[in-house]
């Protein structure tokens, strides 16, 4: 079977179009070298070296180990040809050996730096093979100069490699610090949003409590009057009896709403007990009477929670999930240990939540249901906050939603 080994086009795209001062100086210096060259072959070889030096760091593929190694090999070939046509070991261009050595040292590790240095020295010394030793003789001083010409590129490469490692290490530290600051900033924003939501909940709770207490007395009077009217009208007066029943049922519905207001406004003081959270979830499942797929971890520790309040939390989440899903569509409930917390997830495959509602669904009076009041999730959030827990939601329109409840594991439960 043939495999497509072509290099992705993105690998050869320029990663930085900004012209640096170093680039201008490099172009000027190479321009002078090209101007001083004796023939066109020298000029073409110097132009090739200039191009390789200028594109390093600009093409993404050359920032890989294979790309940088390829660039170093090409530079060694060009240097070999340049020194070869200009006198071999006596070439005035011997210092050009620094280019591939430094290029490798600035990006590759110690092994790559040593290999490129030996490669540069080997390129230079290879011209000794072409000397007719029967007619030529290298004096000790010339041998000394030859050794210096070999050692200087290697020494320069090691120094550049040490500086490059220091720069990369510092850059990695700055990058890690920047990532930590970004995470801290996200956490701070989340904390600020939680504080604002708590302030809104507190204000609305006070308003709800006052309003609910004011409504309960007249509601009781209205229902009592409706019951009295129903008993006092003649038996053959169907319209009057129907109207009395409507009044009574609407009063019950309104009274239920008032009760929910009071539940929302009432200060929460959880009565904690050491319980198995799976048993609490199962009780909520039985009350919700919805098809559920259970996925519990068998090694969950017991939690110090208020079982009645937490049962109400799971009941509300299961009811919402069932209302958002198609009839008989199963709901998945999972419970696992996640570090210092227990994560309980309620997953439905329903209609999902609009993106513009995700950030506000835990606020009072925010609902996606036509006949909803918008207090269910607000009460759930308040109960979770009272247990020092937290909630998250993930949703996609047409695919469903996942509500996650995180409850802390007390130290004594471990």
The answer, as to whether pTM is greater than 0.85, is no
Which pLDDT score, from 0 to 100, does residue 342 have? 92
Residue 177 is assigned to a structural domain of this protein: no
Residue 234, C-beta contacts closer than 8 angstroms, at least 6 positions apart: 240
**Mean pLDDT of the region 124-153:** 74
Token pair 């070296």: residue: 49
The DSSP output letter for 266 is S
Cα–Cα nearest to 10, from 51, 77, 63, 74? 63
The enclosing domain of 388 has a CATH number of 3.30.565.10
Residue 295 is assigned to a structural domain of this protein: yes
For residue 208, name the pLDDT band (cuts at 50, 70, 90): low
Q: Which of 137, 152, 173 is the last residue of a domain?
A: 137
Which percentage of the chain shows pLDDT scores above 70?
A: 82
For residue 80, name the pLDDT band (cuts at 50, 70, 90): confident
Residues 24 and 121 in one domain: yes
**pLDDT score of 134 more than 70:** no
Which pLDDT score, from 0 to 100, does residue 1 have? 39
**pLDDT score of 411 more than 80:** no
Residue 27 is assigned to a structural domain of this protein: yes
Residues 254 and 290 in one domain: no
Phi, psi of 295 (to 5 degrees): -140, 75
State how far the alpha carbon of 256 is from the alpha carbons of 78, 81, 212, 262, 319, in Å: 87, 92, 11, 10, 17
Q: Which of 246, 265, 284 is the last residue of a domain?
A: 265
Residues 206 and 300 in one domain: no
**Mean pLDDT of the region 34-43:** 85
Q: Which of 214, 230, 265 is the last residue of a domain?
A: 265
Residues 318 and 390 in one domain: yes
Residues 78 and 53 in one domain: yes
What is the span of the domain harbouring residue 48? 9-137
Please state the domain count of the chain. 3
Residues 405 and 290 in one domain: yes
- More confident site: 23 or 183: 183
Listing DSSP states for 147-191 in one string gives HHHHHHHHHHHHHHHHHHHHHHHHHHHHHHHHHHHHHHHHHHHHH
Which pLDDT score, from 0 to 100, does residue 201 have? 65
Residue 395 tokens read as 């949703």
Q: Residue 377: which H helix or E strand, with range? A: helix 376-386
**pLDDT score of 353 more than 80:** yes
**Mean pLDDT of the region 84-91:** 80
pLDDT tens sequence across 374-401: 567 878 888 888 888 988 889 888 888 9
The pLDDT mean for the chain works out to 78
For residue 347, name the pLDDT band (cuts at 50, 70, 90): very high
Q: Beta-carbon neighbour count of residue 228 at 10 Å?
A: 11
Residues 375 and 401 in one domain: yes
Cα–Cα nearest to 127, from 106, 110, 149? 149
Residue 176 is assigned to a structural domain of this protein: no
CB 362, CB 381: distance < 8 Å: yes
Residues 129 and 230 in one domain: no
**Mean pLDDT of the region 164-179:** 84
The enclosing domain of 239 has a CATH number of 1.10.287.130
Bridge-based pairing of strands 292-296 and 331-338 is parallel
Residue 304 tokens read as 């110090």
Residues 206 and 323 in one domain: no
Please state, in angstroms and rounded to a whole number, the distance separating the CA atoms of residues 117 and 114. Answer: 5
Residue 170 is assigned to a structural domain of this protein: no
pLDDT tens sequence across 142-159: 777 778 877 777 777 777
pLDDT tens sequence across 231-280: 777 766 777 777 777 887 777 777 776 776 666 666 667 888 899 999 99
Residue 3 is assigned to a structural domain of this protein: no
Please state, in angstroms and rounded to a whole number, the distance separating the CA atoms of residues 319 and 96. Answer: 76
Residue 160 is assigned to a structural domain of this protein: no
Residues 209 and 132 in one domain: no
Please state, in angstroms and rounded to a whole number, the distance separating the CA atoms of residues 220 and 216. Answer: 6
- More confident site: 54 or 133: 54
Please state, in angstroms and rounded to a whole number, the distance separating the CA atoms of residues 376 and 313. Answer: 9
Residues 291 and 404 in one domain: yes
Residue 116 is assigned to a structural domain of this protein: yes
Residues 206 and 127 in one domain: no
CB 316, CB 376: distance < 8 Å: yes
């Amino acid at each position: 079977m043939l495999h497509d080994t072509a290099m992705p086009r993105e690998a050869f795209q320029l990663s930085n179009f900004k012209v640096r001062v170093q680039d201008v100086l490099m172009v000027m210096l190479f321009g002078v070298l090209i101007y001083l060259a004796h023939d066109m072959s020298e000029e073409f070889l110097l132009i090739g070296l200039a191009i390789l030096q200028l594109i390093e760091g600009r093409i993404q593929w050359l920032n890989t180990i294979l790309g940088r190694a390829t660039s170093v090999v090409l530079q060694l070939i060009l240097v070999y040809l340049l020194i070869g046509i200009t006198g071999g070991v006596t070439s005035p261009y011997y210092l050009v050996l620094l280019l591939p050595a430094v290029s490798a040292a600035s990006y590759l590790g110690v092994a790559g730096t040593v290999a490129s240095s030996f490669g540069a020295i080997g390129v230079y010394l290879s011209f000794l093979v072409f000397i007719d030793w029967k007619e030529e003789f290298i004096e000790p001083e010339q041998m000394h100069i030859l050794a210096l010409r070999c050692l200087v590129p290697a020494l320069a490469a090691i120094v550049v490699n040490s500086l490059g490692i220091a720069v990369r290490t510092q850059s990695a530290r700055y990058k890690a610090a920047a990532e930590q600051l970004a995470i801290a900033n996200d956490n701070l924003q989340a904390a600020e949003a939680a504080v604002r939501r708590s302030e809104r909940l507190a204000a609305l709770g006070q308003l709800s409590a006052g309003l609910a207490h004011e409504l309960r007395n007249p509601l009781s009077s209205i229902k009592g009057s409706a019951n009295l009217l129903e008993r006092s009208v003649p038996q053959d007066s169907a319209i009057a009896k129907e109207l009395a029943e409507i009044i009574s049922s609407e009063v019950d519905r309104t009274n239920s709403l008032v009760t929910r207001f009071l539940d929302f406004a009432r200060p929460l003081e959880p009565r904690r007990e050491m319980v198995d959270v799976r048993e609490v979830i199962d009780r909520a499942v039985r009350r919700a009477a919805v098809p559920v797929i259970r996925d519990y971890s068998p090694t969950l520790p017991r939690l110090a929670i208020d079982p009645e309040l937490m049962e109400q939390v799971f009941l509300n989440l299961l009811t919402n999930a069932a209302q958002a899903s198609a009839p008989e569509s199963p709901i998945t409930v999972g419970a696992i240990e996640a570090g210092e917390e227990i994560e309980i997830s309620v997953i439905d495959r329903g209609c999902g939540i609009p993106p513009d509602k995700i950030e506000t669904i835990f606020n009072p009076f925010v609902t996606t249901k036509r006949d909803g009041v918008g207090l269910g999730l607000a009460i759930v959030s308040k109960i979770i906050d009272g247990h020092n827990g937290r909630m998250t939601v993930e949703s996609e329109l047409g695919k469903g939603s996942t509500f996650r409840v995180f409850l802390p594991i007390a130290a004594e439960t471990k």
